[in-house]
Chains A and B, each alone.
Chain A
Amino acid sequence: GNSVTQMEGPVTLSEEAFLTINCTYTATGYPSLFWYVQYPGEGLQLLLKATKADDKGSNKGFEATYRKETTSFHLEKGSVQVSDSAVYFCALSPYNFNKFYFGSGTKLNVKP
């Protein structure tokens, strides 16, 4: 079956710290992988994606690499800002994109 497991939060960091949020997945076939972000009071927004093994998705200083051998898609950012405080969701979509499977979300708090 298909599923996504994320590290539990909340994660609390100081501004300019390095961020890693772990995500591993189980999938049949060759899924695409996504990170979505949900800011307080707002809807889910696509942050980045990778559609095949070894692809690196990047956006707004965030990066994640699709690792087929470790079934992982960890989210990283070199220097977080207070404005990055949000809930981050890892997701996968099977090859035919009929649905997304989401992790439970990781809340990030960045302190000034």
Chain B
Amino acid sequence: DTGVSQDPRHKITKRGQNVTFRCDPISEHNRLYWYRQTLGQGPEFLTYFQNEAQLEKSRLLSDRFSAERPKGSFSTLEIQRTEQGDSAMYLCASSLARSASGKGGGLSYEQYFGPGTRLTVT
């Protein structure tokens, strides 16, 4: 288990340029999530995939943002025509959908986070 990896770790771009980030989840995990974290705040949900299907997108995800997970493994997050307000840490997480064992039942999906990609738009 090598953990969730993200590439690049840092990206500086000029306003108006397009950027793409990659996330490689833990290999057996079927769910993959993208979050955005700004300074002094907790992560905010952007979108998530179960296998290759994108099941939910936040209203934070404007039409300039697009995410894919074509083969149900790695995922990419693209931001087109970047704006200064896009400057943030972009976090990827993955989890394995499974049933909790033991009494009480229910589901237990621990999310494992990558180190993040810090985007600076100048």
Contacts and interface: CB of A to CB of B under 8 A. Distances in A.
Contacts of B113: 36, 43-45
A99 B56 contact: yes
B56 to A, nearest CB: 6
Interface in A77-112: 89, 91, 93, 95-105
Contact count band on B:
20 to 34
A95 B43 contact: no
Interface in B14-50: 31, 33, 35, 40-45, 48
Contacts of A69: none
A51 interface: yes
Given A49-B108, A93-B111, 8 more contacts: A42-B115, A46-B110, A46-B111, A93-B109, A96-B107, A99-B45, A99-B56, A102-B43
Interface of B: 4, 31, 33, 35, 40-45, 48, 55-56, 91, 93, 95, 97, 100, 104, 106-116
A52 B116 CA distance: 30
13 contacts: A4-B42, A42-B115, A43-B113, A43-B114, A44-B91, A46-B112, A49-B110, A51-B108, A95-B106, A97-B95, A98-B56, A99-B56, A101-B45
Nearest to A46: B110
Contacts of B91: 43-44
A32 interface: yes
A44 B37 CA distance: 11
Contact of A89 (B4, B42, B112): B42
